[in-house]
Amino acid sequence: MIALLAMACIKPTPPGLSPAQERETLHAQVVQELEGSQVIYLQATILAGSAADPIGQEGVAYLTARMLREGGAGARSSAEVDALLSEMAATVQVIVDKDLVTFRGKALASDADRFVPLFTDMLANPAWDVTRFEQLREQSIQRLGTRLLADTESLGDAALDSWLNEGHPYGHTVQGRTGALEVLTLEEAQAFYAKAYVREAVTIGIAGDVAAQGALIEGLMALPVGRRLNPTPRSRPPVEGRALAIIQGSGDSVGWHMGHPIDVDRDHPDYPALLLGLSAFGEHRQSWGTMFQVMRTERGLNYGDYAYLEHYRQVGGSDVQELGTLRLQPQFSMWLRPIQPENAAFALKLALTLVEQLVEDGLDSGHFERMQQSLVKRTQTMARDPGRRLGFAVDAAVMGHPNRLEMGPALQALTLEQVNSALRTHVHPDKLKIVGVAPEPESLLATLFEDSPTPIVYADVTPSPEQDLLDQRVAASSAQLISGVILPAQDLFR
């Protein structure tokens, strides 16, 4: 059985709601002992994400985290660290997001004597290999300057993420800006580390064989006492009306990304209701969503259409959400995957119509009841392995939120009216920033600002009368945009 021996023995405080304090202890710890386990799962999550990048040094938080993992640890060089990890067949992953940096380790318990000190050395005693720093810096510049621009889907996501948070610490990509990266120095990374990696900013987790719990804490107590960086929420630019930005994409189809800031985090009383409502509307890579059914299943417009209550990062090629990516300030968003250019305007207007209907009409009782059963039952399959179970618990402890794995009762207690009320309160179809990535931005922009209809072009599909009625209404509707701009992709991440 899972024994939570010392869950949060230091009471965590919600990072965004209390003043930063200077404490001699770590922020919190999560312990999940699994009797008889031969594996040790470690985690350290630090409030040191890219939102803490100083102005002019955008990218330093990301590079610092990568350097702790890859730049040598203690007396070991970068290569020696890799050799030791390989010898143990152990892994240490680093996940960097806007607010959080997560180090996730896994090894045989029989190697704990070597693995735990290596893990804590990475965090508390980094070796700062300058050659590796330069390689990682070049890699970041290349990723932002080349690879991201060629990846239509990631480009649209990053562009929306930046535009929604313009002027806010979330307003640049996690990897930074190429202009800042070009002049970033190792000394600046070291200075960032000294400020950000203090005991009070660190939450730790250990699962499986937890005999090394003391060594983990002891190792990380080598971090200095200090005041953690202040992540208090800051105001984001208000979204008035529907504003459009189109970026020149390299593919031959059009992707749409849109959203607005939202103040519903996992601690908000409306979180379960909104989670249910948006899962029913468009859960990531699931076919039951209303948008998916209307746009893909019925019309074959594209590969998928989704809606999110939290910024979504997928683990590899799976459909599973990456942990360690929660944000203090979430955002509502929708994503329409690539569409043939002739249907791009129609698809956008259809998605806008559907989200308007969602807010105005809410879910019907059948959809609500199915979604409720699904979410309640899936809480037990979300963590398929002990490392992921630990990850959920640490995310909760860091943020001071309820654990997502323990939301079954709250989801079970929801009523249809609560869900529909939450949708009306928090989702604003009339206030959206919309990003398109398109091969011909000018003509798409012109089409959307013209009053002429934009009928759907079907590939041999004969729509049903009901479908045809909606198609005609959508084609004749206006996207009701208040502004439109074409942005050169090359400048977005400079």
Ranges within 365-394 binding other proteins (CB under 8 A): 366, 370-371, 373-374, 376-378, 380-381, 384-388
72 and 129 Cβ atoms separated by less than 8 Å: yes
Q: Binding to other proteins by residue 473, rule CB under 8 A? A: no
Q: How far apart are CA 430 and CA 243, in angstroms?
A: 10
126 lies in the site for other proteins, by CB under 8 A: no
Q: Please, are residues 65 and 17 in contact by the beta-carbon 8 Å criterion?
A: no
Q: Is 415 in the site for other proteins (CB under 8 A)?
A: no
Determine if 475 is a binding residue for other proteins (CB under 8 A): no
Cβ closer to other proteins: 17 or 211? 211
Given 339, 355, 397, 444, the residue binding other proteins (CB under 8 A): 339
Judged by CB under 8 A, which of 27, 69, 106, 327 binds other proteins?
A: 106
Least Cβ distance, residue 38 to other proteins (angstroms): 5
Report the residue from 14, 21, 22, 82 that binds other proteins according to the rule CB under 8 A.
82
Residue 374 corresponds to which amino acid? S
Site of tokens 């949708």? 423
The partner residues of 33 in beta bridges, in order of sequence, read 3, 208
CA 437 to chain centre: 20
Verify binding: residue 128, other proteins, rule CB under 8 A.
no
Least distance (Å) between residue 264 CB and other proteins: 23
- In the structure encoding, which two tokens stand for residue 189, read together? 């990374």
Query: CB-wise, 269 or 488, nearer to other proteins?
Result: 488
d(CA 321, CA 318): 8
For residue 234, with 0-12 CB atoms within 10 Å meaning exposed, 13-18 middle and 19 or more buried, which class applies? middle
Residues in contact with other proteins, counted by CB under 8 A, come to a total of 96
Stretch that binds other proteins, among 4-12, 353-361, 411-419, 458-466 (CB under 8 A): 458-466
Binding map of other proteins across residues 242-281, x = CB under 8 A, - = no contact: -------xxxxx----------------------------
Cite the beta strand spans of 262-406 per DSSP E: 305-308, 331-339
SS3 243: strand
Nearest to 315, CA basis, from 285, 288, 290: 285
Least CB distance from residue 249 to other proteins, whole Å?
7
Of residues 5 through 64, those in contact with other proteins by CB under 8 A are 34-39
Check residue 412 for interaction with other proteins (CB under 8 A): no
For the chain, how are helix, strand and coil distributed in percent, rounded to 5? 45, 20, 40
- 472 touches other proteins (CB under 8 A): no
